[in-house]
């Protein structure tokens, strides 16, 4: 079956032109004006943009964490992703310290295979280092993974020591694997938590004060030091503040191959949300925490200038009714995470492009192309060209609506953006040439998503 997208304005990270796009056998086969294909299914894209499918390079779907599990499955998450214009997910595979890495990788993969409606791959979490782990990591890379994930935070659960970090990064350099990292100083977090709890400061708003910007900046600086010494390519996940960006940029200037990811939450929400009364603030507890509003301009400008490469979600959904309350009397026990998988693209469009903070090419670049380039998916994903996968988003800039838990496809029972207006949304979303979402509804095929094998390139 072929698919013809007619009369749209094609926009990539670097180009903008009017053309039709013909897709056959899951690939883009022709891009030119006036294509006729009588047997093809036709999507009328007049008055609309045609973007490459968006890539979310940091999501959690299967996540055992803080005594509970993130609430989405690939069934709900891939539908939410597609309705929101995201056609590729890169999930964090997060084994706990005692878990077997290879078994964990296969477990995470089994949660997606045969279920996901969109394509997917993983960053392989490394939560300890020894000879057996190293051998298994080599095997996991041979099976198609080209990025690792380390947590400098969450001591005792996912976190690695400096000694372990050294060896993971040394191995990554040898294998050409990029290391993605959650950068916060674990001991500072623990000591600050203890101090706050001892002072009776237990509400959600105190979460911020256990992880102030200095804690993240220290973690980022430390990762940069290791990268500088070992030559490993690194990617700072969910960077939230100026202090941390300054450390990454200073390292880039010294020649470190460092990439920075920020989140749609950090671009649009600030710490006052976590200060909301009556435990409402728990909806906004994540790590690193939401920051002072002044950081938003720094992050938007980071995207605009390329100092920040990607805008992800770190989608980590925990219900407000029965999961967030695990920390009702103690903020350190609130499951960390803010769901945003479905809303990233529309929020980035509305608050970025529509409010003139970033241009349309930067929008495509940071929400799709950069992730494809950094994580070894380009040009199969992340752009519109002949031979690429036909993952396309026909985007309606004229749509106006509101975000709500009442309509979202994510399994979680609240929206961090309840009632927020959006301007623009995907009209049609395709996965390898098949229409998978239309005007806010999923019309695709569960189980059609493929595991994307990747090859290391960060030598
Ligand atoms: O608060 C967050 N970010 N939850 C998900 C786990 C992580 O640290 O990425
Ligand atoms: Zn993290
Ligand atoms: Zn995360």
One digit per residue, the tens of pLDDT, for the chain of length 459 reads 899 999 999 999 999 999 999 999 999 999 999 999 999 999 999 999 999 999 999 999 999 999 999 999 999 999 999 999 999 999 999 999 999 999 999 999 999 999 999 999 999 999 999 999 999 999 999 999 999 999 999 988 899 999 999 999 999 999 999 999 999 999 999 999 999 999 999 999 999 999 999 999 999 999 999 999 999 999 999 999 999 999 999 999 999 999 999 999 999 999 999 999 999 999 999 999 999 999 999 999 999 999 999 999 999 999 999 999 999 999 999 999 999 999 999 999 999 999 999 999 999 999 999 999 999 999 999 999 999 999 999 999 999 999 999 999 999 999 999 999 999 999 999 999 999 999 999 999 999 999 999 999 999
Spatial CB neighbours of 233, under 8 Å, sequence gap ≥ 6: 172, 173, 178, 179, 227, 257, 258, 259, 458
Closest alpha carbon to 297 in 322, 270, 323, 272: 270
Residue with CA at minimum distance from ligand 1 atom 2: 337
**CATH dotted code for 53-374:** 3.20.20.140
pLDDT digits (tens, 9 = 90+) for 175-210: 999 999 999 999 999 999 999 999 999 999 999 999
The domains of the chain are located at 53-374
pLDDT digits (tens, 9 = 90+) for 60-89: 999 999 999 999 999 999 999 999 999 999
Encode pLDDT of 11-57 as tens digits: 999 999 999 999 999 999 999 999 999 999 999 999 999 999 999 99
Q: Give the distance (Å) from ligand 3 centre to CA of residue 56.
A: 11
C-alpha 17 to ligand 3 mean position (Å)? 36
Residue nearest (by alpha carbon) to ligand 1 atom 4: 337
Q: Identify the residue whose C-alpha is closest to ligand 1 atom 8.
A: 287
pLDDT attached to residue 156: 84
Rounded (10°) CA dihedral 296, 278, 184, 221: 30
Mutate to test the pocket of ligand 1, among 93, 238, 261, 281 (most ligand atoms within 8 A of CB): 238
CB of 181 closer than 6 A to ligand 1? Answer: no
Pocket test for ligand 1, best of 283, 287, 334 (most atoms within 8 A of CB): 287
Extended beta strands in 161-231, E state: 178-182
Residue with tokens 């929101």: 84
57-89 exposure pattern, b = at least 16 Cβ within 10 A, e = fewer: bbbbbbbebbeeebbbbbbbbbbbbbbbbbbbb
């Amino acid at each position: 079956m072929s698919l013809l997208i007619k009369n749209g304005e094609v926009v990539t990270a670097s180009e903008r032109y009017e053309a039709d796009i013909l897709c056959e056998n899951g690939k883009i086969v022709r891009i030119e004006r006036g294509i006729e294909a009588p047997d093809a299914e036709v999507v009328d894209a007049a008055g609309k943009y045609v973007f490459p499918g968006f890539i979310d390079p940091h999501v959690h779907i299967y996540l055992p964490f803080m005594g509970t599990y993130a609430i989405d499955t690939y069934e709900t998450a891939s539908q939410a992703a597609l309705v929101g214009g995201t056609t590729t997910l890169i999930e964090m595979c997060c084994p706990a310290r005692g878990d077997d890495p290879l078994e964990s990788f296969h477990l995470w993969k089994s949660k997606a295979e045969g279920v996901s409606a969109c394509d997917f791959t993983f960053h392989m979490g490394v939560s300890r280092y020894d000879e057996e782990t190293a051998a298994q990591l080599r095997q996991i890379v041979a099976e198609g993974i080209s990025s690792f994930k380390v947590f400098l935070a969450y001591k005792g659960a996912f976190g690695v020591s400096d000694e372990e970090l050294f060896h993971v990064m040394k191995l990554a350099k040898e294998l050409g694997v990029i290391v993605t990292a959650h950068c916060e100083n674990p001991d500072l977090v623990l000591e600050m938590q203890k101090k706050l709890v001892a002072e009776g400061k237990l509400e959600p708003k105190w979460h911020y004060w256990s992880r102030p910007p200095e804690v993240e900046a220290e973690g980022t600086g430390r990762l940069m030091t290791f990268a500088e010494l070992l030559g490993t390519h690194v990617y700072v996940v969910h960077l939230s503040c100026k202090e941390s960006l300054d450390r990454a940029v200073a390292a880039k200037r010294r020649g470190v191959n460092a990439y920075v990811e920020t989140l749609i939450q950090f671009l649009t929400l600030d710490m006052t949300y976590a200060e909301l009364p009556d435990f409402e603030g728990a909806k906004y507890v994540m790590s690193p925490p939401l920051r002072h509003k002044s950081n938003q301009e720094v992050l938007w400008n980071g995207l605009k200038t390329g100092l920040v490469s990607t805008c992800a979600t770190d989608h980590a959904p925990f219900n407000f009714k029965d999961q967030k309350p695990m920390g009702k009397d103690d903020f350190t026990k609130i499951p960390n995470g803010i769901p945003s998988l479905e809303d990233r693209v529309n929020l980035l469009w509305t608050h970025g492009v529509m409010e003139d903070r970033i241009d349309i090419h930067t929008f495509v670049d940071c929400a799709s192309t950069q992730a494809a380039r950094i994580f070894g998916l380009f040009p199969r994903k992340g752009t519109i060209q002949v031979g690429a996968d036909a993952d396309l988003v026909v985007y309606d800039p004229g749509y106006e609506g509101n975000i709500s838990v009442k309509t979202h496809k994510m399994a979680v029972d609240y929206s961090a953006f309840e009632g927020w207006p959006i301007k623009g949304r995907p009209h049609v979303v395709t996965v390898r040439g098949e229409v998978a979402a239309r005007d806010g509804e999923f019309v695709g095929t569960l189980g059609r998503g493929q595991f994307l094998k990747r090859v290391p390139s960060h030598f």
